[in-house]
Structures are given as structure tokens and as C-alpha cells.
Amino acid sequence: MKTILNEQQLAIIIRRLSHQVLENNINLDNTVFIGIQPRGIFVSDQMIQVIRQLVSAEKVQYGKLDITFYRDDIRNQIHMPNQTDIPFSIEKKNVVLIDDVLYTGRTIRAALDALLDFGRPAKVELCVLIDRRFSRELPIQPDYTGRSIDSIVSQKVKVFWKERDGKEEVVLL
């Protein structure tokens, strides 16, 4: 087990990602943030806390998206659905999708399919904590990246969160 990010590095990266997203979406009137269930919401919850400290909290529209039934491997494994909570329209909005690890791109493809059930966004940007660059199966790239890593297929990236695991770090198994 090799540590990629410790707790302090993780906090710094989340702040940086929050600032980068705000820099490109300074007027939040037409921008919404959506965390991908289940693991992306740990990143998105922390980013939204930072963003709400930087701008008026009521300007920040934040939702959570469950992609369970949009996954192309739904028949291969048992998946427990999570809750989708998007209490606003995404029609003609700039959507910032937030996830923890970008690996093959299949989770993001499922999220894009699921988003279309809520309307047609003007633009979708992708923000990820970890980008496993050379593992893509689909032509999907992040707009905002916390850390890019090179790993082999047999390795796994695990993100630990205090709320769930009692510690915060990213490791390579």
C-alpha cells in the first residue's frame, strides 16, 4: 500500500479544485454542481463547503446523482442504489460533475446518460480528485484534476474519508 495523498495534501487539493472551478465559473447563476454517488459525494461535499465560504451560499446549487441503473456492468454485479437529489433544473445550465477517481471513463459515461433524464445542460465539465490517465476505455478527460497518476491495471486506487473510514488519504493498492 503506497500513500498517494495524505490528509493535508488532500485538503489542499480540494481547496485548489474549488478555486479552479470558481475561477472558470465566476458567475454561478448558470452553474450547478453535481456529485456522483456513492464515492464522488465525499469530494463534492468538501468542495461545496469551500465554495460556499468563498461566494454567497445561496448562489451554490448542489445535487447528488445516483448512476446505479445507468452502469453498463449492472448485470455483472449486485449494486445497491443510492439516492439522487437534484432539486433544481439543469436545463441550459453549466454542470460541474464531481467524482473521486477517473479510471476507465464508464462511470462518467453513465453519469452523462443519467443527467439527460434531468434536462439538457448547456455544458458539462468534469472534476476529479484522481485521474488514472492511461486506463481509459472511453474518450473522457477531466477539466479539473487533483492529481494524475500512472498505474497498472492490477493496481487499485482507494480513497479514504473520515466520515466513512475514520481517516483521510488516497492510497495505491
Over residues 86-107, the pLDDT tens digits come to 999 999 999 999 999 999 999 9
Spatial contact of 38 and 82, defined as CB atoms under 8 Å apart? yes
Domain at 2-68+89-172: CATH architecture:
3-Layer(aba) Sandwich (3.40)
Over residues 12-66, the pLDDT tens digits come to 999 999 999 999 998 899 999 999 998 999 999 999 999 999 999 999 999 999 9
Q: What is the pLDDT of residue 73?
A: 66
Q: How far is CA 43 from CA 92, 97, 98, 112, 138, in A?
A: 25, 11, 7, 18, 23
Spatial contact of 23 and 54, defined as CB atoms under 8 Å apart? no
Is residue 21 exposed (0-12), middle (13-18) or buried (19+ Cβ within 10 Å)?
Answer: buried
| Entry pTM | 0.93
Q: What is the pLDDT of residue 76?
A: 61
Confidence of residue 80 (pLDDT cuts 50, 70, 90): low
Q: What is the mean pLDDT of residues 61-80?
A: 78
Concatenating the DSSP letter of every residue in 43-56 gives HHHHHHHHHHHHS-
Q: How far is CA 65 from CA 9, 76, 127, 128, in A?
A: 27, 21, 14, 15
Q: What is the pLDDT of residue 151?
A: 86
Angle among Cα 30, 122, 36 to the nearest 5 degrees reads 80
- Residue 155: pLDDT above 80? yes
User: What's the mean per-residue pLDDT of the chain?
Assistant: 92
Confidence of residue 78 (pLDDT cuts 50, 70, 90): low
Angle among Cα 51, 35, 70 to the nearest 5 degrees reads 165
- Residue 77: pLDDT above 70? no
Give the separation between CA 36 and CA 100, rounded to whole angstroms. 9
% of the chain at pLDDT higher than 70: 95
Domain ranges of the chain: 2-68+89-172
Crossing angle for the helix pair 7-24 and 40-54, to the nearest 10 degrees: 60
